[in-house]
């Protein structure tokens, strides 16, 4: 097996691990109850910040950031923070599997963003995949005047934020920036953004809620580390389809622990989005 194939295989393993950890994070966020979204986001990212700082402190290069990485790190952090907050808003109001599938529109947003960020031109097949993926999202969101549709739309915008963020993760990886540096900058940036809201809207937590948020932070740290390592190991076009294992994990957790059963329209939406993702991945692999 060549180095390239080894790298791709490791990237696939990493991204499946990331999907598992992010589904656990969603579950813990839901279990934390009716706390303000900004409070949840702060605690989620504070744990990731601490872990990444410890990892970097023990590394040989410490906190050194590569020359030219700062603009990319700032853009990745800003869009990642926006995507995270919108995703948390969706998790609170709609099913776990629904919120996760909408967040997984990020690879399709990444196709669009990569045109400008990585100068990677999309072909006709990829544009058709993007259109079909958003058609699937319409089945999940079911646009209407209902409040659930609004939060579904927030979930889709969260996918946009994640798509831009991951495009910049890939760009930073190509520049040789280290994964823990990317995670640390994102986590600290998110904490700084959410801190004023935390102070103004702080709601006292029970011990159970605190443990849930700390658990969400630990799971998110694992997910963040794994997905960052995944996209620095292999191109998104080769491994992003395996990110959809998160939907399976989230659906199983939602069913067994929350009694959530997706309705027919949502299942159709899942099938379209995941089906298109698999087709796009197979198409890319055949081209190579």
pLDDT digit string (tens) for 193-223?
999 999 998 899 999 999 999 999 999 888 8
Confidence of residue 26 (pLDDT cuts 50, 70, 90): very high
The pLDDT assigned to 2 comes to: 43
Q: Is residue 238's pLDDT more than 60?
A: yes
Q: Specify the higher pLDDT residue, 271 or 233.
A: 271
CA distance 45 to 190: 7
DSSP SS3 for 62 = coil
Mean pLDDT of the chain: 86
Whether residue 266 contacts residue 97, with contact meaning beta carbons closer than 8 Å, is answered with yes
Length of the chain: 288
The pLDDT assigned to 179 comes to: 83
Domain boundaries of the chain, sorted by first residue? 3-287
Q: Is residue 5's pLDDT more than 90?
A: no
pLDDT, average across residues 31-46: 91
Percentage of the residues of the chain whose pLDDT score is greater than 90 = 35
Whether residue 139 contacts residue 133, with contact meaning beta carbons closer than 8 Å, is answered with no
Q: Specify the higher pLDDT residue, 119 or 173.
A: 173
CA-based torsion, 246, 249, 250, 251: positive or negative: positive
Model confidence, pTM: 0.83
CA-closest candidate to residue 206, choices 35, 22, 20, 5: 35
Residue 219 φ/ψ, nearest 5 degrees = -65, -40
**CA neighbours closer than 13 Å in the CB half-sphere of residue 253:** 25
The residue whose two tokens read 């609004």 is 150
CA distance 63 to 269: 43
CA distance 210 to 163: 30
The pLDDT assigned to 209 comes to: 94
């Amino acid at each position: 097996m060549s180095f390239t194939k080894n790298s791709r295989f490791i990237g696939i393993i990493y991204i499946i691990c990331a999907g598992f950890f992010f589904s656990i994070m969603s579950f813990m966020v839901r279990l934390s109850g009716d706390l303000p979204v900004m409070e949840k986001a702060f605690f989620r990212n504070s744990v990731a910040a601490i872990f990444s700082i410890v990892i970097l402190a023990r590394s040989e290069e410490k906190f050194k950031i590569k020359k030219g990485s700062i603009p990319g790190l700032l853009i990745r952090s800003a869009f990642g923070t926006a995507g995270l907050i919108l995703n948390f808003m969706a998790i609170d109001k709609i099913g776990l599997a629904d919120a996760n599938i909408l967040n997984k529109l990020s690879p399709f947003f990444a196709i669009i963003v990569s045109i400008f960020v990585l100068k990677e031109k999309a072909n006709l097949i990829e544009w058709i995949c993007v259109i079909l993926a958003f058609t699937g999202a319409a089945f999940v969101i079911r646009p209407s005047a209902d409040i659930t549709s609004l939060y579904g739309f927030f979930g889709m915008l969260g996918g946009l934020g994640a798509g831009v963020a991951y495009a910049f993760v890939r760009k930073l990886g190509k520049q040789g920036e280290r994964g823990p540096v990317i995670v640390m900058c994102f986590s600290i940036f998110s904490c700084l953004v959410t801190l004023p809201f935390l102070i103004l809207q702080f709601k006292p937590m029970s011990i159970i809620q605190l443990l849930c948020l700390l658990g969400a932070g630990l799971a998110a740290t694992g997910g963040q580390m794994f997905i960052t390592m995944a996209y620095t190991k292999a191109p998104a076009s080769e491994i992003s389809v395996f990110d959809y294992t998160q939907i399976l994990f989230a659906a199983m957790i939602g069913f067994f622990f929350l009694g959530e059963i997706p309705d027919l329209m949502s299942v159709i939406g899942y099938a379209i989005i995941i089906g298109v993702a698999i087709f796009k991945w197979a198409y890319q692999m055949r081209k190579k």
